[in-house]
Amino acid sequence: MNALPPAKGQVIGHSVTRLEDGPLVRGQGRFAADVNFPRQIFMRVVRAQIAHGHLIAINTEAARALPGVIAVWTHADVASIPPIPFRATRLQGLEPYCQPILAAGRVRYAGEPVAVVFAENPYLAEDAADLVLAEIEELPVLLDARLPPAEFAPGTSTEPAIVRKQFGDVDAAFATAFDVVALDLSVGRHSGVPLECRGAIARYDAAHDVLELHGTAKKQHWNRDEIARLLGLRPHGVHLFEGHVGGGFGVRGELYPEDLLVCLAALRLGRPVKWIEDRREHMVATNHSREQHHSLRAAIDAQGRLLAIDAVFHHDQGAYVRTHGARVADLTAAMLPGPYRLHAYRVAGHFRLTNKTPAATYRAPGRFESTFVRERLMDAIAARIGVDPIELRRRNLLASADMPHARQLDALGTDVVLDSGDYAGLLDKSLARFGWDALQAELRARRAAGELVGAGIGFFVEKSGLGPSDGVRISVDRTGAVELVSGAASVGQGVETVLAQICAETLTVDYRAIRVVRGRTDRIEFGNGAHASRVTVMSGSATHLAALEIRAMALATAAPLLQAQPDELTLARGHVVRIAAPETDLMSLAEVAAHMGPGSPLMIGRTPGLTAERWFYSDHMTYPYGVHLAVVRIDRGTGEIRVERYLVANDIGRAVNPMLVEGQIAGGVAQGLGGALFEEFRYDEAGQPLSTTFADYLIPTLAEMPALDVLVAEDAPSPLNPLGVKGAGEGGINGVGAAIASAVDDALRKPGAITTLPILPRQVHAMLPR
Amino acid sequence: MTQHHSITLHLNGTAHAVSVEPRHTLVDVIREGCGATGTHTGCEHGVCGSCTVLLDGEPIRACLMFAIQADGRQIRTVEGLAHGTILHRLQQAFIDHHALQCGYCTPGFLMLAAGLLEADPNISDDALQDGLSANLCRCTGYVNILRAVRAVAAELRA
C-alpha cells in the first residue's frame, strides 16, 4: 500500500517547529470568543440550581421587561427540536435518555439549561438571566451509580444499558484456579477542562441561504449533518467553521444544547448570536468523565499467571446520554485486558444515570480507568504470590510472537486485534532508562533514613486510528503554492504541521509553504474530525496517498514535455528532475501546474488542475503501548504526595515529529497527575456541585510537575497504514493513575493500600504508620 | 450600574478613549473596547492567568480588575511584544521549544514571563519556577514552557 520506508525522511521524523505558532504567540489567534459579527446579540443560559425535580414554572417576565433583552426561551419555545443525538453504537435503547436542548418538565442535574436569554450585550444577558425564576419541585437525588437503579421516566430505569463482553470459559478457569485475587476500586469524576471554555457563534446569511456556526471543534461534519437534521435544514446549507481551539481532550467539539440554541436563534431572530461559556458554567455544563467503580476477580495459577478475569463495573454517566452513547463503558470493558495474555474474560459494565453533569470521553477514555484497575490487579497478584511486580508482569505480557493478537473482543464496533508490539522489549528499555535497579537501592537507603518513598509502574495499551475513513485533497496552483484540505480538525495538537510534513516529504517542498485547511465543512464534503488519536493515522495516511498521486500526476504531465518516460523522473526541491541527474531542476511544480490549468492544450477534454483527493480506509484500530514509571515521596506531616521523577515510554510505530509527540506525552502526564492526585468533581448530598471554580477543582501547575523523561519508541510500526504510525495523543495520560497508585503503595509499604483516585493527602495521612 | 464613564487605556503605547460601565472588567475592555483579543479569559476568577497583562510593568490578572481602575495607566499585552516582524525573544523561544500547543494560555504565560524577567533579569531558577507556577496550562505539562523561559533567562544572564 505505498508504504513509506521506515527510515527517517527529509521532513518526516524531524522535530521541526510548528506552522501553527506564529499567530498564536502574537496574540492573533482566532478562538471562539474572538469571533464577532456586525449586529450580533448574546445568549446566556439559565441553568437549574437544583439537581433533580419537576419544573413547575419558569417566570421570564422580569427578564423580558429589561431594556435590551430581545427574547427569552424555555422548553415550550424549542419543543419542536429533537434532543441531542448520539453517534452510531451497537447498543440499543439509548434514545429515551438523550438531553433536550432546554429542560422538558424535569431537571436532572444542577446546571441543566432551563431557559435562554438573548440580549444586546453579554453583561445585560447575564443581568436578565438572573431575573429568570425557575420554580422546581425537588425530587430525591441519585448520586451513586452503585445503588440500585431508579425510575428515569415512566417505563425506563436509570440503567440504560449493560455493556457485556466475554471470551473463554471463565467459570471453569475460576473452578480450577490456584488462587483468586479480588479488588474493589474507584476512579473519581474528572474531565478535560480545557483552558478555553466552549463558545458558539451562529449567523444566517440569507443572501446565500447558509447557516454558519463558528467556534466549532473536533467533529464538524457529523455535527453539521446533525444540526441540519435537527433544525430541518439541508446539510449543504449549513456550514461549520473551526478557528483556533483552546484544547479539546474529548469534551470540546461535541454537540451540546448551546450549539443548537445559537443556530435556532440566529434563524429565528435574524441576527448573529454569540454564546461564550464561562468557567463556572463549564464545570457543570461541559462533559464530565471517568467516574467508575470496579469489582473484579482474577483467577491465577501458582506462578501468578492470569487464567481469567471476571469484572463488574458501574459507570456514572450523569443525567443524560450524550453524543458518545455508552462509548466510555464500552472502551473500559474492551481495553481492560491490556497487554496481558488472558484465556478467559467476562465483564459487565453497568451504564447508569445519576443526577450529575452528563459524562462522556476524556483523553484515553476507558483506558485511564481500566489501566488503573488492571495494574492495581497485577500489583495485588504480585503481592499475593510474593513476586516482584515487574517479574509478575513479565510472566503475563503477550510476546512479540503473539502479534497480531485477536482479543476476541470488540471496541467501538471493531474487533480488537493488537496489531504489533514488543511489550517485554519496551519494559526492558524503560527500566534501563529509568535506572530501576539502582533506584531500588536508593529508595531502600532513603527509607532507612526515615523517608516515605516508593516507585511504581503502570503498563498500558492504547488504541488509536479509529476508521472508517478520511480523505485529503492536495492542490498545487500555478504559483507552486500547495494547499492541503482535510476533513480532520485541530484542537491544538499540531495537526497542520504534521500533515504538512507528510505532504512535504513526497512533494519535496518546504513544509512551511503548505497551507493546511481543516475543520471546515465548506471546503471538503466529508470528514471524521480529530478524536481518538486518529488524525496522524487516518488523515496522515490519506495525505501520504494524495501526495503520491500528485507526484505521479506531475511526473506523467512533465514526462512528454521533457521527452522522458515518467519512471525516469522524480521530484527534488519541488521540481521534476531526472533520476539519473537529480541535481538539475527541469521543471517546477508551478510550471507543471500551469501546464495542467484549464486553458492548457494538454488538458483539453480532461479535468484540469494538479489536484488529487485520496481516501484512506481502515477497519481496525492500531494499538500503541507503553510503560509509566514513577517515584513518589510522601510528607509524613501532611500526607502530601510529591512526584519526584517520572518516565513515559511509548511505542507509536513512527514519530512524524518527535518534538510534538513528546509534547503530547508531557501534557498527558500533567493531566494524568491531575486525575491521580488533585482533580475531582465533588457533590454534596443534595447533588449540588462543589467543584465549580479552579480554587475547588485543582489543575496541576508547574510546581506539581516531576522531572519528566519521555522515551518515544518506534520498534513496532503498525502494519495497518502506509506510514506505520500509531496515535500519540493519549499514551501520556493513560498509565498515570496506575503508576502513581503503585508508587504510593510502595512508599507506604502497604501493597493494595490505594483503591481510589484521586489519592488525597488526608487519605494518605490516615494510612501513615503512627 | 449602567452609567458610563469615559476613560483612557494606554495599551501598548497607544491611547484608547473608551466608555465603560464601572463593572466592566479590564480584560473585557482590552478585548472588546480596544480590540486586542490576544488576551484571553480562562476562568474570570483570577486563578488560571490566561488574562495576564503587564500593568505599569507588573503582571496582573486583567479579569480581577475593573477597567476603570486602569484609567490612565500603562498596559502591555501580547500584541505589544513583537517589534513589527521581529518577535520578542520569549515569543521565539516559545516556538523553538514547542512551549505551546493550543496556544490559549500562551499570551498570559508570555506576559507573566516578560514581567518576571524584566523585574529581575538575574532571577534565580527557583524564583522563575515559582513565578511561572502562577498560571495554568492544560496542554503542555509546562515542561517546554519552563525550557523556553529558562533559555531566555540564560541569554539575559549571559
B65 and B112, same domain (yes or no): no
- What pLDDT was estimated at residue A769? 80
Q: Domain boundary at B45, B80, B115, which?
A: B80
Query: Is A411 within 8 Å of A331 (Cβ atoms)?
Result: yes
Same domain, B12 and B61: yes
Distance CA B113, CA A676 (A): 29
- Whether residue A660 and residue B98 make contact (CB cut-off 8 A), yes or no, is yes
Q: Do B101 and B36 fall into the same domain?
A: no
Longest C-alpha distance within chain B, in Å?
53
In this prediction, residue A2 has a pLDDT band, given cuts at 50, 70 and 90, of: confident
Q: What pLDDT band is residue A466 in, cutting at 50, 70 and 90?
A: confident
Which helix (H) or strand (E) covers residue A344, if one does? strand A344-352
Residue recorded with cell 525516469: A568
Residue A1: the pLDDT is: 55
SS3 state at A237: helix
Distance, CA of B106 to CA of B113 (rounded, Å): 10
Spatial distance between the Cα atoms of A109 and A130, rounded to a whole number of angstroms: 19
Q: What pLDDT does residue A74 have?
A: 98
Closest residue by Cα to residue A502 from A464, A461, A470: A470
Interface A-B, measured as beta-carbon pairs within 8 A, has a size of 169
Average pLDDT in chain A: 97
Quick one: closest CA in B to A196, which residue? B42
Q: Tell me the residue range of the domain where B119 lies.
A: 89-157
Cβ of residue A362 closer than 8 Å to a chain B Cβ: no
For B108-156, the pLDDT digits (tens) are 999 999 999 999 999 999 999 999 999 999 999 999 999 999 999 999 9
Residues 6+ apart with CB under 8 A from A452: A633, A634, A635, A636, A747, A748, A768
Average pLDDT over residues A443-463: 98
pLDDT band at A442 (very low <50, low <70, confident <90, very high): very high
Contact A384, A353 (CB under 8 A): no
Closest CA to A485 of A656, A624, A365, A613: A613
Q: Residue A561: how many CB atoms within 10 A of its CB?
A: 14
Give mean pLDDT, residues A617-637: 97
Residue A712: closest CA among A668, A647, A631: A647
The dihedral over CA atoms of A548, A549, A553, A556, expressed in degrees to the nearest 10, equals: 60
Reply yes or no on whether the pLDDT at B1 is more than 60. Answer: no
Q: Which 3 state secondary structure label does DSSP give A473?
A: strand
Could you tell me if B93 and B140 lie in one domain?
yes
- Quote the pLDDT of residue A323: 96
What CATH number is given to the structural domain containing B75? 3.10.20.30
| Interface contact A25-B103, CB threshold 8 A | yes
Domain boundary among B39, B57, B80: B80
Sequence-separated (6 or more) residues with CB below 8 Å from residue A57 = A134, A135
pLDDT at A710 over 90: yes
pLDDT digits (tens, 9 = 90+) for A88-140: 888 889 999 999 999 999 999 999 999 999 999 999 999 999 999 999 999 99
Residues B94 and B147 in one domain: yes
Q: Closest Cα of chain B to A17: distance in Å?
A: 6
Instruction: Please state whether the peptide bond connecting residue A83 to the residue before it is cis, i.e. omega within 30 degrees of 0.
Output: no
Which residue among B31, B36, B104 sits closest to A195, beta carbon to beta carbon?
Answer: B104
Give the length of chain A.
770
Residues B11 and B75 in one domain: yes
Kind and range of the H or E element at B16? Answer: strand B14-20
CB-closest option in B48, B82, B103 to A29: B103
Q: How far apart are CA A185 and CA A756, in angstroms?
A: 6
- Cα-flanking dihedrals φ and ψ of residue A158, to 5°? -85, 15
Pick the residue from chain B with its C-alpha nearest to A666: B141
What are B66-84's pLDDT values in tens digits? 999 999 999 999 999 999 9
Domain extents in chain A? 21-29+466-617, 32-139+198-276, 292-465+620-767
Q: What is the CATH number of the domain that holds B110?
A: 1.10.150.120
Say which CATH class A21-29+466-617 falls into.
alpha beta
Last-in-domain residue among B80, B114, B142: B80
> Contact, A590 vs A602, CB < 8 A?
no
Q: Which residues 61-120 of B are in CB contact (within 8 Å) with A?
A: 77-79, 81-82, 87, 91, 94-96, 98, 100-107, 110
Q: Do B31 and A663 touch (CB under 8 A)?
A: no
In whole angstroms, what is the distance from residue A91 CA to residue A465 CA? Answer: 22
Return d(Cα A589, Cα A558) in angstroms, integer.
9
Is the pTM of the predicted complex or chain greater than 0.90?
yes
Cα separation of the two ends of chain B = 52
Say which CATH class A292-465+620-767 falls into. alpha beta
B142 touches chain A (CB under 8 A): yes
Same domain, B54 and B105: no
Total domains in chain B come to 2
Torsion of CA B56, B57, B60, B62, to 10 degrees: 60
Residues B44 and B99 in one domain: no
Distance, in Å, from the CA atom of B2 to the CA atom of A532, rounded to the nearest integer, reads 47
Q: Are A291 and A187 spatial neighbours (Cβ–Cβ below 8 Å)?
A: yes
Residue A542: pLDDT band by 50, 70, 90 thresholds? Answer: very high
Residues of B in contact with A667 (CB under 8 A): 101, 138-141
Chain A environment of B91 (Cβ under 8 Å): 25-26
Question: Do A473 and A608 form a contact (C-beta atoms < 8 A)?
Answer: no
pLDDT per residue over A46-85, tens digit each?
999 999 999 999 999 999 999 999 999 999 999 999 999 9
CB A332 within 8 A of CB A292: yes
Band (A502; pLDDT cuts 50, 70, 90): very high
Q: Residue A7: which pLDDT band, with cuts at 50, 70 and 90?
A: confident
* Residue A497 at interface with chain B, using a CB cutoff of 8 Å: no
Same fold, A32-139+198-276 and A292-465+620-767: no
Quick one: A577 exposed, middle or buried, by C-beta within 10 A (0-12, 13-18, 19+)? Answer: buried
Q: Tell me the C-alpha to C-alpha distance, in Å, between residue A573 and each of A203, A413, A540, A570, A582.
A: 44, 44, 21, 10, 10
Does A24 lie at the interface with B, CB-CB under 8 angstroms?
A: yes
pLDDT at B2 over 80: no
Fold of A32-139+198-276: Aldehyde Oxidoreductase; domain 3 (3.90.1170)
List A41's β-bridge partners, or say none: A273
Give φ, ψ of A273 to 5 degrees. Answer: -125, 125
Q: What percent of chain A has pLDDT over 70?
A: 100
